[in-house]
Structure 1
Amino acid sequence: MNEALREMLKYLRLSGLLGDWDQTLERARKGRFSHARLLNEIVEQEYKLKRENARQYRIRRAHIPEELVMETYPFDEQPNLNRKALLSIYDAFDYMARAQNIIWVGPTGCGKTGLATAFLIDAINRGYNGRFVTFAELVGELRASGADYSEAKILKQYLAPECLLIDELGYIEIEPAQVALFFTLMQRRHRKRPTLITSNLGFSDWRSFLKNDHLTVALIDRLTSNSYVFNMKDCRSLRPDPLPIP
């Protein structure tokens, strides 16, 4: 490859072709590719590379702390979990188009976060953008936004992801101002996309940290009206091993 061609490929950001130029030509020579087949080979390689780079970029932007996928979840150790129903939702993947929430409720360590993360990663792998945030982190950001009057900016930030995962709902108490902002974030006319939620508290206990009976009832009604709910209270404590994303 001459330097002029190298510079043109750099300018066009065809990094795959730039790095694989000699190998591509060698495959074409050995396979006696036609011009059309060679062009198809080049375009297909670049397409796959850019798709993979975009997927990895979405994974990084999602801020997922532990990259768990469905294949690592130890279903055999959780006989009380409705595996068939869960995998049916996972495989059908129509909850995204229907903007349906998925909620996991159960004790600490039973694998709620692992399952929710697997759903989030699957959505990202299929081309959607996503975001992982713990409830404590979200409340902290909502609290800070009240101090500098950036509530609209924070709400926009968490309304934008096509798949939002809020982990550990209920681990901390929330002040009235943040309750109102959180309720606004979850309202259907604002958040019109799926939200994945894990909580160590049953719905009847949400009043203990929200401390607002009216908004608690309204929030539960909003979240469960178009949702799948998995009650994992009878599931044992476990920690699935992480499997790195390829």
Structure 2
Amino acid sequence: MSVETLPIILKELRLVSLLPHWQPLAEKAREQHWPVERYLAELCQLELSCREQKRLHRGLKEATLPIGKYLDTYDFSEVEGLSKKQVWHLADNAEWLKTGDNILLFGASGLGKTHIAAGLGYRLVEQGHRVKFMSASLLVQHLQKAKEELRLPEALVKWDRFAVLILDDLGYVQKSTEETSVLFELIAHRYERYSLIITSNQSFEDWDKLFSDTVMTVAAIDRLIHHAKILQCKGESYRRKEAQNKLN
């Protein structure tokens, strides 16, 4: 077998990421007198790195996370009641996904709840978990349309491919029987199977404004908090502080 056939073999084996690298690396191996085992190991490492980069790119593309909202850019010192250690532990130790645990982020507008949720999402994608970020209102609209078309069960199963759904601004879902019923269907469907990260400017005692039925409200809260980490953000709005600083 001649060396000239190697590019064809690499293509056949779907190792095309090695095509621009195998020759330069072979020259380096000869110059530095590498054993053949090291050359092979270096090629394999290149392939693994390339595959990881592609996986991360695909994961981030489908997650649709807000750009730049990483945990290491969040200023925990500006928010009260939120443990930096706890948040980073949840980000780096995703055992809670195995039991379909939820993370519930409460607090007034402008405290960075979305930033925290997105930051967790970025870390989970990096670890190989499939994540989807959406506004709660938009997802509810999708589910409501599916219900009108008599395909809600199929639509709910569709979201099962994501280990984590991040529902942003739950408090802005309209209080109508149609919208809140599909939201409850989603919560019940994912219960103890797949995780939700939810941000809301309304605490549980105000969720009667969200769900049109008291029984449904209690049932939704019960399922969400059964396996949940509740994070409470308190303090002065980030956006208000930024606006004041610009004026000053």
Task: Give the shorter-chain TM-score range.
Answer: 0.7 to 0.9
Q: Distance in 2 between the 1:128 and 1:26 partners?
A: 38
Per-residue deviation, 1:202? 0.8
Q: Which has the higher helix share?
A: 2
Match of 2:238 in 1: 238
| Deviations, residues 133-160 of structure 1 (Å, cap 9, x unaligned) | 1111111101211232221222112232
Change (3 A) 1:235 1:49: same
Match of 1:205 in 2: 206
Q: How many positions carry a matched residue from both structures?
A: 238
Match of 2:19 in 1: 18
SS at match of 1:45: helix
The answer as to whether partners of 1:158 and 1:185 remain within 8 angstroms in 2 is no
Match of 2:242 in 1: none
| Deviations, residues 153-210 of structure 1 (Å, cap 9, x unaligned) | 2211223211111111011314323322222221266561221110011111111122
Match of 1:219 in 2: 220
SS at match of 1:109: coil
> Structure 2: which 5+ residue stretches go unaligned?
240-248
Per-residue deviation, 1:40? 1.3
| Deviations, residues 11-39 of structure 1 (Å, cap 9, x unaligned) | 33213211212321122123311111111
Per-residue deviation, 1:70? 1.0
Q: Distance in 2 between the 1:35 and 1:29 partners?
A: 10
Change (3 A) 1:191 1:149: farther
SS at match of 2:109: coil
**Letter of the structure 2 residue corresponding to residue 155 of structure 1:** L
SS at match of 1:146: helix
Confirm whether residue 192 of structure 1 aligns to residue 212 of structure 2: no
Per-residue deviation, 1:2? 7.1
**Letter of the structure 1 residue corresponding to residue 236 of structure 2:** R
Per-residue deviation, 1:123? 1.0
Which range is displaced more, 85-94 or 62-71?
85-94
The answer as to whether partners of 1:159 and 1:185 remain within 8 angstroms in 2 is no
The answer as to whether partners of 2:133 and 2:166 remain within 8 angstroms in 1 is yes
TM-score normalised to the size of structure 2?
0.87
The answer as to whether partners of 2:106 and 2:113 remain within 8 angstroms in 1 is yes
Change (3 A) 1:230 1:189: closer
**Letter of the structure 2 residue corresponding to residue 235 of structure 1:** G
**Letter of the structure 2 residue corresponding to residue 119 of structure 1:** L
The answer as to whether partners of 1:81 and 1:235 remain within 8 angstroms in 2 is no
| Deviations, residues 209-243 of structure 1 (Å, cap 9, x unaligned) | 221111111111110111111111x222226xxxx
Change (3 A) 1:208 1:16: same
The answer as to whether partners of 1:185 and 1:191 remain within 8 angstroms in 2 is no
TM-score normalised to the size of structure 1?
0.88
Share of identical aligned residues, percent? Answer: 27
Q: Distance in 1 between the 2:81 and 2:124 partners?
A: 26
- The CA RMSD over aligned residues, in Å, is 2.1
Q: Distance in 1 between the 2:146 and 2:31 partners?
A: 62
Match of 1:122 in 2: 123
Q: Distance in 1 between the 2:4 and 2:176 partners?
A: 62
Q: Distance in 1 between the 2:194 and 2:30 partners?
A: 49
Per-residue deviation, 1:80? 4.0
Q: Distance in 2 between the 1:36 and 1:5 partners?
A: 17
SS at match of 1:96: helix
| Deviations, residues 47-82 of structure 1 (Å, cap 9, x unaligned) | 121122112101111122324211111112224422
**Letter of the structure 2 residue corresponding to residue 29 of structure 1:** R
Change (3 A) 1:191 1:19: farther
Match of 1:131 in 2: 132
Q: Distance in 1 between the 2:156 and 2:190 partners?
A: 13
Confirm whether residue 99 of structure 1 aligns to residue 77 of structure 2: no
Change (3 A) 1:64 1:90: closer
Q: Distance in 1 between the 2:5 and 2:153 partners?
A: 49
